Chain A
Amino acid sequence: MSKEEFEQLVSELSLLIFNVALAKLPAEDANDVVSETFMALWQTRDRAPVDPEERRRWCWGIARNKILQALQHTRRKHHDGRFVVDHVSADPQSLDDPAESVAKADAARRALDSLPPGEREAVTAAAATDLPGKELAAMLGMSHTAFASRLSRGREKIVKFLRSDGLIWEGE
């Protein structure tokens, strides 16, 4: 895998990995998962598949493992009162109106959290990347039909959730 190919994966998948990890981990850990995924990818680049689609799926597999490892680590520490401050995360920051932005971001995250895992993964993948649905489905290890179905169901629920929270989308 060349540096350009590596760079493309970083560009395509960083935000997706961060958001999937963020559903389960504090933001700092989610950010570390992103870094560790791509560092592991670079360290094993000689074994990376040649086919771009396969390579993307391979990277996603590494990311999932990193999320699981981080989750295991966090759970362990979470039980341990000696490390209670380990779980204090920074508050979200905004350059504009912090209160409003945080409220909206919270509502959006709650909307995502309200989805079943499969739908959440599909929605996050669609929202956090520019990849076509077919390629996302392949990366996530599901059929295009299953991906489209989960995305549609997730989308409907998110719209409903945001409407109930007073954050009605334009055009809806």
Chain B
Amino acid sequence: MTEPTDDPTEEFRREIAASPTSIVSTPEEFGLRFLTVDELIEKAEATAPGRLGSLRREARRRTWLLGAAAGLTAAAATVVMVVLPPTRDEAPPPIASPSPSVTESRSPATFDVAREVLLAAALVKGPQTAEINYWQVKSIQVFGTEEVPREIWLGNGRPSVLRQDGFVDRLPAASFPAGGESIGWQALQRLPSRPEQLSALLSRDATAVGRDKRWTIFKAAGDLIAEAPVPPQVRSALWRVLASQPGAGRTNQALDHAGRRGWTVSMSLPAEGSITYLVDPVSGQLLEARYKPSGGRPPWTVTFLERGPAEVAPPLTDT
């Protein structure tokens, strides 16, 4: 093959200059702008090499705020957290010495029907959460072969803290989506303890966001059990909500990513994908959640190692 005698680049540029539309996008089209050279240098010199990810965390915070303002938290149906970059003028939370319960399985019983597993879990009384400082959840997320440890301290009227990807970030006080609304810690305590009422509340926005009602309930209830500091009566109601779902049919024993034995409860819908919860009915703990999204997206799993009240949270990463 010979070298071209004419550079087609200039010809192409002349063509697109005459076009009624541009194939090149600018940040201004999205309400953004490039940093100036001086801003880049200033930020580069204020940021330690290898810590540039903080920029994306700032962007994430902006985007989350935007989403929340647009009422899109309804689609999340789970714990909503907004990452705030650590600030030097705020005192970090005190050193951690959390004491959550280990979510180990102790069940020798056998079950044939998932509903029985869920109703057994509903009988286990969880801790009171109205007056605690933090609700700590330690988990491992598995994306393909990649393991991503995650630890969160949800703050009761105080900043929350997230440890993930090598950073410890400050988050605002926890808030939780419930049927399309974002509710605070105290409102979480007042969620209905009757399954039918709770189920109706959790699925309130399903139609509006175009989701299957059964899926919305199954996922929302699982998410709240997984990470939210719900009081004992609500936790019990959430298990019973799951037990009332059509997916709560057959169950099998299975090991989670940490090697613990639990019982599977699944829901699978063509348009949504499938979710499998691995439940320990004796300790009343959700051990693991396995997600297989539809549309060819790869599956992922989150294994819950510890969850429970904590007095304090760890210090923030210095960025």
Residues from chain B with a CB closer than 8 A to the CB of A85 are 63-64, 67-68, 72-73, 75-76, 80
State how many angstroms separate the Cβ of A53 from the closest Cβ of chain B.
Answer: 16
Task: Count residues of chain B with CB under 8 A from any CB of chain A.
Answer: 74
Q: How far is the CA of A94 from the CA of B149 in the complex (A)?
A: 42
**Does B91 sit within 8 A of A, measured CB to CB?**
no
Q: Which residue of chain A lies nearest to B64 when distances are taken between CB atoms in the complex?
A: A85
**Does B190 sit within 8 A of A, measured CB to CB?**
no
Prevailing SS type, chain A contact patch: helix
A79 & B13 in contact (Cβ 8 Å cutoff):
no
B18 & A29 in contact (Cβ 8 Å cutoff):
no
Residues on B facing A (Cβ under 8 Å):
1-4, 7-10, 12-13, 15-16, 18-35, 37, 40-41, 43-45, 47, 49, 52-53, 55-56, 59-60, 62-64, 66-68, 70, 72-73, 75-81, 141, 143, 146, 148, 165, 219, 223, 227, 291, 293, 297-298, 300, 302
**Does A139 sit within 8 A of B, measured CB to CB?**
no
Q: How far is the CA of A104 from the CA of B72 in the complex (A)?
A: 27
Q: How far is the CA of A43 from the CA of B46 in the complex (A)?
A: 10
Residues on A facing B (Cβ under 8 Å):
3, 6-7, 10, 14-15, 18-19, 22, 26-32, 34-36, 38-40, 42-44, 69-70, 73, 75-76, 78-82, 84-94, 104-105, 107-109, 111-112, 123-124, 126-128, 132-134, 136, 144-145, 148, 151-152, 155, 158-159, 162, 167, 169-172
| Known contacts A28-B30, A88-B63, A127-B13; A42 and B40 CB within 8 A of each other | yes
Q: Which of A29, A35, A108, A155 contacts B43 (CB 8 A)?
A: A35
State how many angstroms separate the Cβ of B250 from the closest Cβ of chain A.
Answer: 25
Q: How far is the CA of A35 from the CA of B57 in the complex (A)?
A: 13
State how many angstroms separate the Cβ of B82 from the closest Cβ of chain A.
Answer: 9
Q: Which residue of chain A lies nearest to B7 when distances are taken between CB atoms in the complex?
A: A133
Q: Which of A26, A91, A104, A126 contacts B63 (CB 8 A)?
A: A26
B30 & A90 in contact (Cβ 8 Å cutoff):
yes
Q: How far is the CA of A38 from the CA of B62 in the complex (A)?
A: 21
A89 & B56 in contact (Cβ 8 Å cutoff):
no
B34 & A31 in contact (Cβ 8 Å cutoff):
yes
Q: Which residue of chain B lies nearest to A171 when distances are taken between CB atoms in the complex?
A: B18
Q: How far is the CA of A146 from the CA of B259 in the complex (A)?
A: 52
> What are the 10 tightest A-B residue pairs by CB atom distance, in nearest-first order?
A85-B67, A133-B9, A27-B30, A104-B21, A39-B44, A88-B67, A42-B44, A79-B300, A133-B7, A108-B23
A29 & B56 in contact (Cβ 8 Å cutoff):
yes
Residues from chain A with a CB closer than 8 A to the CB of B302 are 80
Most chain A CB within 10 A, of B13, B23, B35, B219, is at B23
A82 & B7 in contact (Cβ 8 Å cutoff):
no
A126 & B52 in contact (Cβ 8 Å cutoff):
no
How many Cβ-Cβ contacts under 8 Å join chain A to chain B?
214
Residues from chain A with a CB closer than 8 A to the CB of B31 are 90, 93
State how many angstroms separate the Cβ of B233 from the closest Cβ of chain A.
Answer: 24
A-B contact pairs, 15 of them (CB 8 A): A15-B26, A27-B30, A28-B63, A29-B59, A76-B143, A82-B80, A82-B223, A85-B64, A88-B66, A92-B30, A108-B25, A127-B23, A133-B7, A148-B9, A169-B16
Most chain A CB within 10 A, of B12, B24, B40, B297, is at B24
Q: Which of A35, A81, A144 contacts B55 (CB 8 A)?
A: A35
Q: How far is the CA of A128 from the CA of B22 in the complex (A)?
A: 10
Given contacts A85-B73, A167-B20, 16 further A-B contacts (CB under 8 A): A10-B34, A27-B25, A28-B32, A28-B63, A35-B35, A75-B143, A76-B143, A85-B80, A88-B66, A105-B21, A108-B25, A133-B9, A145-B2, A151-B12, A155-B12, A170-B20
Q: How far is the CA of A151 from the CA of B7 in the complex (A)?
A: 10
Residues from chain B with a CB closer than 8 A to the CB of A22 are 25
State how many angstroms separate the Cβ of B140 from the closest Cβ of chain A.
Answer: 13
Q: How far is the CA of A44 from the CA of B52 in the complex (A)?
A: 13
Q: Which residue of chain B lies nearest to A78 when distances are taken between CB atoms in the complex?
A: B297
| Known contacts A18-B25, A107-B21, A126-B12; A79 and B143 CB within 8 A of each other | yes
